[in-house]
Amino acid sequence: KAGVTQTPRYLIKTRGQQVTLSCSPISGHRSVSWYQQTPGQGLQFLFEYFSETQRNKGNFPGRFSGRQFSNSRSEMNVSTLELGDSALYLCASSLAEVYEQFFGPGTRLTVL
Amino acid sequence: AQTVTQSQPEMSVQEAETVTLSCTYDTSESDYYLFWYKQPPSRQMILVIRQEAYKQQNATENRFSVNFQKAAKSFSLKISDSQLGDAAMYFCAYRSSWETSYDKVIFGPGTSLSVIP
């Protein structure tokens, strides 16, 4: 069974631009979560989707948004990029409820 | 709100020895799940072990075991017979039960483990 895939793996943008990251969960997984990982702040929860509905949202500004499609694939969007948005963005999927999360390799975003 | 604390930013262990990583958490919930994740230098996060709060028996996965103390809100990870491949960042994570918070997971700040040959 294929694991969680994220595209692109690396991305370089400039301040003020916007970016869209994609995540394909493991087949059959309906829950997708997004995290931002930085050396200073560690792993911070962005949001979580289940069956196309956002169930939880972390403490991030409105520039960060996401969505989930009917096939459980998810995208997150960051508008008006800032230097501080440079980070590794991780996507994780799970079956539901008690099941652990399986992580993708991440997308490394660099904002210049 | 729940919090997860890992008081050891860095640790090292001799190959073949045993090391214990500490994790404490704060919650008012009675039903939850705890995890240890490993993130090697390649950056792919991997689940090491999980523990359901309602289970008194400590979880074990091969060389990895936990010491779960629910009353003390402590969840330490013991790695026996340490191997070079165990070198990684280890994250302790807390997850509420589905009924209360769906799939939100809180991660600790991580412990960087080095294995000395």
Angle at A23 between CA B111 and CA B96, to 5 degrees: 50
Task: Report which residue type is found at B101.
Answer: S
- Nearest Cα neighbor of B71 from B24, B37, B104, B109 is B24
Question: Rounded CA gap, A110 and A83, in Å?
Answer: 8
Q: Which residues of B touch A103 (CB under 8 A)?
A: 37, 44-46
For residue A53, what is the nearest residue in chain B, using CA coordinates? B102
Flag whether pLDDT at B104 surpasses 80: no
Give φ, ψ of B39 to 5 degrees.
-125, 100
Average pLDDT value for chain A: 92
**Mean local confidence (pLDDT), A46-64:** 90
Q: State CA B7 to chain mean position distance.
A: 12
Partner-chain contact B104 A102, CB within 8 Å: no
Residue B54 DSSP code: T
Determine how many CB atoms are found less than 10 A away from the CB of residue A18. 11
Taking only the tens place, the pLDDT of each residue in A93-107 is 988 655 688 999 999
